[in-house]
Structure 1
Amino acid sequence: MSAHSFMEIGGHLLLACRESYLPNLAALFTEDELRHDDEQLGYVSTVHEVRDRLQLHGFTADRARAELDKAVQAWHAKHPSPAADELGVPVRDAAMILSGLGDFVNSADEWATYELPEDVEWQLDARIILRLAIDVSADADQPVRYNLDDLQRYQLLAPGTPITVEARSERLRGIATDAPLVILTEGSSDSQLLTDAIRVTHPHLVGFLHFMDFGNGAEGSAGSLAKLVRSFVGAGIANRVLALADNDTAAHDALAKLKRERLPDDYRIMHYPALPLLRRYPTLGPQLADPVLMNVNGKAGSLEMYLGQDLLTVDGELVPVQWVGYVEGQKGYQGAISASEKRRIQAAFRRKVKAALQDPHLRETQDWSGVEAIVEGILCIFEQSYAEQRTHGCDGKRPPPPSRC
């Protein structure tokens, strides 16, 4: 005789799983609800507690009934005889199925049995079936037990194995893997400009990268970005999350503490990458009237510096960076192009995007290297664990693919 796990409502067994358990059902319990001795192993909650948990996961009463109706309609379409299918199994409608399920769950007969039509059961998520059973239960305090007795008896599961924690962690990993990467920037301008940019440079990634919409005019800073990351961690946001910041002195200083904190492994912190253009870039300081060529990577790398040399050039000259203040924490100066130049470059970039989308051949005459470097950095950032990234960083370059030979 093979071992099975079961969901048990009021002592009545349903949702059998042979020689294992269903992680999606285990995730509905907590380790505090584990009950075991030499003969029994299982998790015990109540009808109303499990109903609340299903509700939070989106398995509502309306959804459960709608999916049952759909499954029954498909069954009837497959077996059009209203009396019986080809095996003589009576063809029931959804109301009859629910009525029979209610009689079973609320029965005083401990030997009562019930089976959903196979063609219906196979179309339904186990959590939908559980929600249907819970909704027809007459007693909200009736115990709901995940019965793992057989698995213990046949040594397929050892007491103390935290299957509820593992199941929820696996579900979160699945959500993080399948859901779009959420990218947090310092404010709405960066988010909107990068969203527009990938439509030109990486159209195949539209829908897979999600730059958070801050709303019009919601300009922020690296400091507010750090607070936003902490709020995401505190809220248990399951998506993979990337904090994407300027590559300047102020941003490195504002994020320094966050980088030292222990973040979930699905979180990353990234600055815009170093650019060859910025290694010898004109800068203005208080001592000299003429621009001085300096490496401004890590010191003045706001997004506008990545939107193209064609936009940074006015009358044949690059718009200079102005040194604006000393940052004690980084032992260096913060640099930036003027606010008026930033506004001009942002407006020109929107026109540049529009033109490139209308005529893709224009891309060959435009400079998109800065945006492409940012996206390459985003693509590489999850190749390392968070601990490795904290130690070694990400240079925005992906390693070559492994040889297939």
Structure 2
Amino acid sequence: MGHYSYLVVGDCQFFYFRNHYDEQLAALFDEAERECVAPNEATGEGKFGYFTTAHALRQRLDVQGFTSRRAQADLAEGLLQWRKSYEDEREEAAKDEWVREPRTREPRESADLLAGIGRAVRPHRKSFETIGEYLQYENQFVETVQDVDELRGIVEVRSLIRLLLDQAPDETRVGLDLSELTGCCVHMDPVQPVAGPTRMRQLASLPADAPLIVLTEGSTDSRLLTQAMQTTHPHLVGFVRFIDYSGTDAQGSAGALVVMVSAFIAAGVANRFVAIADNDTAAHIALAKLKSRKLPEGCQVLHYPDLPMLASYPTIGPSSSVVSLTNLNGVAGSLEMYLGEDVLTFGGSLAPVHLQNYGPTVQRPHGALSKQHKRLVQKAFQKKVRAAQRGQRSDFADWSGVHAIVERIVHAFD
């Protein structure tokens, strides 16, 4: 009897790998997701593998460039190759009276295959009135698994995984089951890490496997967004890396970000990277020329997304002390405005943004918090992060702004 590892999506198993495991699959998991249960004395059955959710794995594939769009394109190309092999073998069979059927199975249409995947990976709630209905349902499972396995030799495994995950609900349990590799005749030690070392080997090989690099306007934005992601998207730690400005003379500004992006492009940096700037007047003006250029395929230049809260935010004009509500999206969307309504509130009121004219040649306002409020907001945010790291995450804490920024980065290449 063989010993296999395999991908588990819900109640279905794919990608059987005899006496070992698929390294592309193993590298998608984190060591913190390891599950190891000692064998039961009576049955001899134990559990060893890495398990997370469909949502977490989809986002890891997103930042590696294996988006739904890419997976669909890879599937279409794979089915064309499969169809050609089938037709070629059918022609050969027709010429040889001793050969009745092609060795290659006939491929299904893309829509039919995806529908079959959907039936396989979604929760099973169907009841069967007859044994015939049950057998038909099981046969559909077998056919789908066989189709996916047939494509494994044609389509990049991560594109196939993406196709499976796109049909599964967010909370579907997904994992690499290694349990059979710890039995007799197999020498895998469940104490030794698998996902971590595999990921490290992968990072040393291809640019597509390296973390997505994120460039920001400066060290403060980089540090705070790193802390935010550890709280809102912990499953992306190690897959997304904000550039570390510590120990450098890098200046924090949109202009400096333009210089850095240009340097990355000129150097032909292999890593996929995203440059993300404030959603304010200064940043939009500074990045306008860069965004008008044809950028490399692995580069995206973005701004923080618009926020509903900023659509009507307290402001003080350049020649008035009266507080009014103004749409600050694109005008005063610095990172501090995304750190949460809770940390922007002082004495029951939101800290106001002070508007000024950008300059004599630009008829557009530009705004920012006062320096004092800016420091207080950053300090309050870091306190909120520390509390969350201790497991003291409050129901009243507002993470929506930084969550939106990380989501913007995740989907930058969609």
- So what's the TM-score if we normalise by structure 1? 0.50
- The answer to which structure, 1 or 2, has the higher relative contact order (CA under 8 A, 6+ apart) is 2
Q: Which has the larger radius of gyration?
A: 1
